[in-house]
């Protein structure tokens, strides 16, 4: 609702609004952290209140209902994801390099545990995929947009003749994302950190197979430790 600083008629900042903004942000960040570990249903009003040292009414008052809180949490997590993955990848100019940057930044995002429970979106996607409603649709929109970012980066690389133009961009986007999802699964459930390397290896091999100049990619054995 309210974005940025609000001023009164004489240009002064209203301290209550500033505090309200800060509280709202703290609620959504903690909610996204909890959801990545225990799901959006694990984000109860009572739990949020006690962890943030608020009353339950102090939490629900900002959003009106549990569903509104869930929707706001998904939106906040979408922004966090964009800041952690899409924005850094887009520092690389369009072409094969940007496609690989998207893969690399995703792996870094997972490895750094931007969300403490692993990828927020994998957790809530499987949680809500059978629960009709606005939350499910918002999560689905986020996934469609992510796959579209991948697809468009591949399209651009094809227009620049850096990726074979006969390749189906939707299929390639699907496969690169699949390798990422499985890495999250194995890293989280099996405590198998090596899964990130397997994902990177599979992505690079896939890209080398369709690149017109494979030597533009990192060497096959390359392992992403901590990309800038």
Q: Which is nearer to DNA, 74 or 176 (CB)?
A: 74
CB of 183 to DNA, least distance (A): 31
Site string for a second copy, 95-134 (x = CB under 8 A): ---------------------xxx---xx-xxxxxxx---
Tell me which stretch binds DNA (CB under 7 A): 37-45, 73-81, 104-112, 143-151: 37-45
Alpha-carbon distance 46 to 108, whole Å? 33
Pick the piece of the chain touching DNA (CB under 7 A) from 39-47, 75-83, 110-118, 120-128: 39-47
Shortest Å distance, C-beta 193 to DNA: 32
The binder of a second copy chosen from 26, 52, 185, 216 (CB under 8 A): 185
- Check binding of 18 to a second copy (CB under 8 A): no
- CB of residue 171 vs a second copy: minimum separation in angstroms? 6
Q: Which is nearer to DNA, 39 or 94 (CB)?
A: 39
DSSP annotation string for the chain: ---S--B-TTS-B-HHHHHHHHHHHHHHHHHHHHHHHH-GGG--HHHHHHHTT--HHHHHTTTSSHHHHHHHHHHHHHHHHIIIIIHHHTTSPTTHHHHHHHHHHHHHHHHTTSSTTS-HHHHHHHHHTTS-SHHHHHHHHHHHHHHHHHHHHHHHHHHTTSB-TTS-HHHHHHHHHHHHHHHHHHHHHS--THHHHHHHHHHHHHHHHHBSSGGGSPPTT---S---
| Stretch near DNA under the rule CB under 7 A, chosen from 63-71, 114-122, 165-173, 190-198 | 63-71
Of residues 28, 31, 54, 142, which one binds DNA by CB under 7 A? 54
Give the nearest distance from C-beta 79 to a second copy in angstroms.
20
Q: Please check whether residue 125 is in contact with residue 177, taking contact to mean a CB–CB distance below 8 angstroms.
A: no
Task: Check binding of 44 to DNA (CB under 7 A).
Answer: yes
Residues that bind DNA (CB under 7 A): 16, 19-20, 23, 41, 43-47, 49, 53-58, 60-61, 64-67
């Amino acid at each position: 609702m309210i974005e940025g600083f609000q001023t009164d008629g004489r240009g002064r900042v209203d301290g209550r609004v500033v505090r309200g903004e800060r509280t709202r942000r703290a609620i959504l960040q903690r909610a996204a952290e909890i959801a990545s570990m225990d799901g959006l249903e694990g984000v109860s009003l009572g739990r949020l209140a006690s962890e943030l040292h608020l009353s339950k009414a102090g939490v629900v008052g900002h959003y009106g209902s549990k569903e509104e809180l869930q929707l706001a949490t998904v939106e906040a997590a979408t922004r966090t994801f964009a800041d952690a993955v899409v924005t850094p990848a887009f520092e690389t100019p369009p072409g094969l390099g940007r496609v690989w940057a998207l893969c690399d930044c995703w792996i870094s995002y997972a490895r750094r545990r931007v969300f403490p429970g692993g990828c927020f979106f994998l957790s809530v996607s499987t949680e809500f995929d059978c629960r009709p409603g606005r939350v499910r649709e918002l999560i689905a929109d986020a996934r469609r947009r992510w796959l579209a970012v991948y697809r468009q980066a591949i399209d651009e690389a094809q227009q620049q003749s850096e990726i074979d133009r006969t390749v189906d961009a939707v299929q390639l986007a699907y496969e690169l994302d699949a390798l990422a999802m499985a890495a999250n699964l194995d890293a989280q459930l099996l405590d198998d950190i090596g899964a990130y390397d397997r994902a990177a290896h599979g992505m690079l091999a896939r890209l080398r197979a369709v690149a017109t100049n494979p030597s533009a990619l990192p060497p096959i054995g390359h392992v992403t430790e901590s990309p800038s």
